[in-house]
Amino acid sequence: MATEAMEQLARREYKQGFITDIESDTVPPGLDESTIAFISQKKGEPQWMLDWRLEAYHQWLKMTSPSWAHLDYPPIDYQAISYFSAPKKPEDRPQSLDEVDPKLLETYEKLGIPLHERAALAGVAVDAVFDSVSVTTTFREKLAEAGVIFCSISEAIREYPELVRQYLGTVVPPGDNYFAALNSAVFTDGSFVYIPEGVTCPMELSTYFRINAANTGQFERTLIVCDKRAQVSYLEGCTAPQRDENQLHAAVVELVALEDAYIKYSTVQNWYPGDEDGKGGIYNFVTKRGDCRGDRSRISWTQVETGSAITWKYPSCLLRGNESKGEFYSVAVTNGRQQADTGTKMIHIGKNTSSTIVSKGIAAGKSNQSYRGLVKVSPRATGSRNFTQCDSLLIGDKCGAHTFPYQEIGNSRSTIEHEATTSKIGDDQLFYCKSRGISEEDAVSMIVNGFCKDVFQELPMEFAVEAEALLSVTLEGSVG
């Protein structure tokens, strides 16, 4: 298999008129079965995994890119994307912070990231990078004592194949949607977490470093399984701006909560949003779904979305267990020419299930954003409740905010509440704050943070601080 894949790749390179050293762990742009075989082989995967990927690929070929979102972007050329590229060799990276773009460093400083971490985030080959690796190892020992598994998805496929096979694709099947199918075929990175029965994870798990340190890997796949009565809080941070042009990021996150389990998943997303004119930036097409499989299980999504040129993301909950709970707390900020179509789906299947949705959208500049949410209550999900609150804040008069709430209620013994508001940061409000001695930027950030506080209080402490700082950075220069 391996040889065959190499040969096919070699032929393709030739056809495209340039030579690449196959030893260098990089595939040229393009997607076909050989690319997938190559990825699978590089990751040392078993045959079943390759078969799973190929099946997803075949499904993807028959699908079309969704067009229902309130987004505007040119068609993506999937043959122009490179699907596997190992991190650069240490000697190719910047050797010190002096070689890193000062604007990038300025951003880190504003976010309050410590100096040695800034170096790691910027991809500088310094000792700090190795330090953080060893720190991770220490954590892993402590986690192992509790029986918690926390490793990369590739490692999990090799080391814990039974667990991965049992749960992978059971929440987001490979054929779920266009981007999920693509991810299933080509994912190269991501995390796997398993919390055994009755265990409360002794620390908050985070992918903050790893995703930032990676120069590549725009197709992460994350799988978190919480066994009966287990609990975990998981943080995902993507706070490093990316410099490249219109990169595609198509991640899949699957959460499984068994009886009485609780998963809290927090995200602070700040991928590169493109420049002021809308050039460059990440296309962020992400499928995140949690399955409250057991009775009384609970899944809580909290997200702060400030980056990306385009965001298409609906962290959802399948409330299958009786009395299970789903929560979605979201702050989405768009500036410049960013576009975001985000929201959630709460699917009530079990009896007496409840869900809470709090969405705060902030649009500035010439950006556009939509909240799109579905609350579906199946006929047998009697005694279910949903509360939705959906607020939009506009800064300036060239941006737009839209709300698309969908409700499908299959029984008469459930309660659904929906509240929505739209407001605007007016010149009068800014003038008022300034006339008290507060600078315009601080005034904007004060008003925006006030608007978002219901969501920020759901974030773990250190993330809340970062999120507030991030909003100020994102909205810099959005008025005046």
In the complex, the residues that contact another protein under the rule CB under 8 A are 423, 426-429, 431-440, 442, 446-447, 450-453
Min dist CB 390 to another protein, Å, is 15
Nearer to another protein, 31 or 393 (CB): 393
Judge whether 383 and 352 are in contact, CB under 8 Å.
Answer: yes
Nearer to another protein, 248 or 401 (CB): 401
| Amino acid, single-letter form, for residue 313 | K
Min dist CB 212 to another protein, Å, is 31
Residue given tokens 């990369």 in the structure block: 152
What are the structure tokens assigned to 204, written together? 């908050």
Q: Rounded CA gap, 56 and 69, in Å?
A: 23
What are the structure tokens assigned to 320, written together? 């299958």
Nearer to another protein, 195 or 362 (CB): 362
Write the CA distances from 461 to 266, 301, 455, 457, integer angstroms.
Answer: 11, 15, 12, 8
Q: What is the DSSP string of 358-374?
A: EEEEEE-TT-EEEEEEE
Helix 33-42 / helix 178-186 crossing angle, nearest 10 deg: 50
DSSP strands (E only) in 49-177: 149-152
Nearer to another protein, 172 or 452 (CB): 452
Min dist CB 425 to another protein, Å, is 9
DSSP strands (E only) in 153-230: 191-195, 205-206, 221-226
Nearer to another protein, 63 or 446 (CB): 446
What are the helix and strand counts (H, E) for the chain?
13, 19
Min dist CB 444 to another protein, Å, is 11
What phi, psi does 263 have (nearest 5°)? -120, 125
Nearer to another protein, 27 or 475 (CB): 475
Min dist CB 417 to another protein, Å, is 20
Min dist CB 402 to another protein, Å, is 20
Nearer to another protein, 382 or 389 (CB): 389
Min dist CB 305 to another protein, Å, is 19
Nearer to another protein, 310 or 443 (CB): 443
| Amino acid, single-letter form, for residue 269 | Q
Min dist CB 430 to another protein, Å, is 9
Nearer to another protein, 163 or 438 (CB): 438
Q: How many CA atoms lie within 13 A of 100 on its CB side?
A: 23
Min dist CB 453 to another protein, Å, is 7
Spell out the residues 6+ positions from residue 277 whose beta carbon is closer than 8 angstroms to its own: 337
Q: Rounded CA gap, 6 and 12, in Å?
A: 10
Min dist CB 328 to another protein, Å, is 20
Q: Rounded CA gap, 32 and 89, in Å?
A: 27
Q: Rounded CA gap, 188 and 205, in Å?
A: 20
| Amino acid, single-letter form, for residue 421 | T
Q: Rounded CA gap, 71 and 370, in Å?
A: 9
Nearer to another protein, 299 or 358 (CB): 358
